[in-house]
Homo-oligomer: A and B are copies of this chain.
Amino acid sequence: MYRDDGFRELDRQECLRLMARAPVGRIVHTRHALPAVLPVNFCLDHGGAVLLRTAAASELVRAVDGVVVAFETDEVDTVTRSGWSVIVTGRADVVTDPAEHARLCRVGPRSWAPSPAEVFVRIEPELITGRELIAGHTLRGTRLPF
């Protein structure tokens, strides 16, 4: 959350409520020492953990397993120039517990294109921040990049 950009900060409950209605977010990490970002579908688990489902052999899994990542969702109305964004920051881990994997097969995100060997990745919500821009709103005289 940037303190000088004039947006209204959202509290944790508002963030989770908004995220729950977003079908797709973007996982932000580092790849080959460069910033990397990938859109993925997801769902929320207990306590605001983010769940992804992907191929066990995917490069994404190798890049994010055990690493602190950011996961961003947003919704923007370009006509009214308003919108919100929510970012979950925390460690990503492949779910290795068989019982937990079985549970997530029932309640976790569905693949948009299934593959034979899939894993779930859980992002722990160590930090949840969000902000909202109401149409044309400016606070404290700052200029908004949004």
Contacts and interface: CB of A to CB of B under 8 A. Distances in A.
As for how many copies of this chain the complex holds, the number is 2
A117 B143 contact: yes
SS of A interface (majority): strand
Interface in A72-88: 72, 74, 76, 78, 81, 83, 85, 87
A36 B36 CA distance: 11
A49 B41 CA distance: 28
Interface residues of A, number: 57
Interface in A27-71: 28-30, 34-41, 52-55, 57-60, 68-70
Given A37-B26, A89-B34, A89-B35, A5 B145 contact: no
